[in-house]
Amino acid sequence: MSKLLDRRKFIKEVMMGAAGLSLVPGLRIASRRGELQPAGNPKNIVVLGGGLAGLSAAFELGKVGHNVTILEARKYPGGRVRTLRGFVDDQYAEAGALSFPQIHEFTWGYVTDFKLPIRPAFQPGFDHIADIRGSTFRIMAQGTANVPFPLTQAERQAGVFGIISLYLAQYMSDVGNPRKPGWPPDNLAGLDQISCKQLLQNLGASDGAIDIIQASQLGLLGFGIDSISALDAVFTEAITSNAAFYEIIGGNDLLPQTLRQNMQAAFKKKSIVQSVTQDDTGVTVTYTRNGGPQTISADYAVCALPFAVLGGIGIDPPFPADKQQVIANLKLTPVTRTYLQFGSRVWEQENLDGFGITDIPVQNTYSPTLTQAGGSGILVSYAAGQNALDLGNMSESDRENFVLKQMNGLYGSLSSKFQEGASQIWHQDPFAGGAYTYFQPGQMAAFLPIAQRPEGRIHFAGEHTSAWHGWMNGALESGNRVADEINSAP
């Protein structure tokens, strides 16, 4: 009885403590996609970073007559939206963004506008695998599982994939649509002060349920559910739809490639930003290209660089202290993905789709070839946080052998079918610094509005400045927001 009262008291205190507070004061959301009014006085704009945020800003600004130049450090557009090709049978796998639901309006809008071919990113009828607390068990296609460790009756009834909603749905339902007036609501602010794990414990989740949630998608944020704000966890789950997820046939990097091909903007690849200066009349950017320093001056700049990259760039005059604090302390999740291709899909023969949740070093697994043709198949280890750091520190051959051994434990004997491997280590990428943003306790409400706040003539875009952080939709939404800001500027 005392435990039930403690839970009720906790929920009441969270709600009352949030009363009258603004969850994210000053947060700006793009009210629409495109539809900017033509520029009466065209501006010169330089965009730092050619990922989806920078590309969408440039695309929308170019459509209404502004003169736009993109500086991109890589030789290709897309940033962290990248597709790995060159596997046997012309198969491919995503290094970054995997899929998107129809409710992600910005992603869906651009994909359908450009008539890019899409398909569901799953196949019904397959089972999944789990390896948690030293036990390997199957999760049936309908979500049921014989979990071999203690859970409460309610947790068992919810099923492996329903446990997160069992505890977070009461908050998720209050998040609502970030594009509607009055968003976000005030009654969730108290959640930002504690970790996701602490919230679950306060709500009475069993240790077994917490371990399942840590092994699931929330465990891929930061360094696990003990490292992320409970508010971040609620937002992450709320903006993820239970509806079908889709992928672009041929690779998700076709979206940034198509944006680039259809925009009225100059794209300067292999251009590495070194410094940015500004005054009351404009912005000057120094960058290296073709072996030497170059400069470009503009009326406004769009900074679509991850803060992990921006922190190493000279800024004159310096940003305000609160902006510098956010740039220094808003972190990206370390992620290592290891791709193993096999001559046959042994797992599918056992009615497994390759999706797995675990607490072993490979962490999550999935098969990008589930929806692709060919006799070969690919399994991916998707590891974040400390697991990503540990795997990333191995040599390529050692990492592939280590992951192969763990995949054997999950899916049976695969070694004789192994063909080739590859890796994507996002935290070792000098132009990324990590895979996607996560907010530590106390950061989300304080940091997000500052992250997106313009500083003089410099405007900020990127998934780290959006309510949809960690998604393609967030990058595209932020690009549209910035385009509107600059188009409306004097």
Question: Which distant-in-sequence residues (6+ apart) come within 8 Å of 115 by Cβ?
Answer: none
- pTM of this prediction exceeds 0.85: yes
Task: Summarize pLDDT for 159-176 with one digit per residue, the tens.
Answer: 999 999 999 999 988 876
Q: Kindly report the CATH number assigned to the domain that includes residue 280.
A: 3.50.50.60
Is residue 60 in a domain? yes
Number of independent structural domains in the chain? 1
Q: Which token pair is 244?
A: 């079908």
Is residue 190 in a domain? no
Contact in structure between 335 and 382 (CB atoms under 8 Å): yes
The tokens 């999950």 sit on which residue?
Answer: 410
Is residue 273 in a domain? yes
Q: State the Cα–Cα distance between residues 45 and 228, nearest whole angstrom.
A: 36
% pLDDT > 90, the chain: 84
Q: Which token pair is 98?
A: 């995997």
Q: Is 363 left (phi over 0), alpha (psi -120 to 50) or beta?
A: left
Measure the N-to-C terminal CA separation of the chain; round to a whole number of Å.
63
Is residue 309 in a domain? yes
Is residue 450 in a domain? yes
Exposure string for 360-377, b = 16+ CB within 10 A, e = fewer = bbbbbbbbbbbebeeebb
Is residue 259 in a domain? yes
The tokens 């899929």 sit on which residue?
Answer: 99
What is the mean pLDDT, run by run of 10 residues, along the chain of 490 residues?
41 38 58 82 97 98 97 98 97 97 94 97 96 98 95 97 95 70 68 96 98 97 98 89 89 98 96 98 97 97 98 98 98 98 97 98 98 97 98 98 98 96 98 98 92 97 94 97 95
Task: Summarize pLDDT for 38-83 with one digit per residue, the tens.
Answer: 878 899 999 999 999 999 999 999 999 999 999 999 999 999 999 9
pLDDT of residue 227: 98
C-alpha 97, offset from chain centre: 7
Q: State the Cα–Cα distance between residues 45 and 53, nearest whole angstrom.
A: 14
pLDDT, mean over the chain: 92
Task: Summarize pLDDT for 263-289 with one digit per residue, the tens.
Answer: 999 999 999 999 999 999 999 999 999
pLDDT of residue 241: 66
Helix (H) or strand (E) holding 322: helix 321-329
Strand, helix or coil at 484?
helix
pLDDT of residue 28: 72
Q: Which domain holds residue 313?
A: 44-73+249-331+436-488
How distant, in Å, are the alpha carbons of 397, 398, 403 from that of 392? Answer: 12, 10, 12
Task: Summarize pLDDT for 348-387 with one digit per residue, the tens.
Answer: 999 999 999 999 999 999 999 999 999 999 999 999 999 9
Q: Is 344 left (phi over 0), alpha (psi -120 to 50) or beta?
A: beta
Task: Summarize pLDDT for 385-396 with one digit per residue, the tens.
Answer: 999 999 999 999
pLDDT of residue 181: 56
Is residue 53 in a domain? yes
Is residue 277 in a domain? yes
Whether the ω angle into residue 368 lies within 30 degrees of 0, i.e. cis, is no
How distant, in Å, are the alpha carbons of 167, 302, 324, 472 from that of 5? Answer: 16, 51, 43, 42
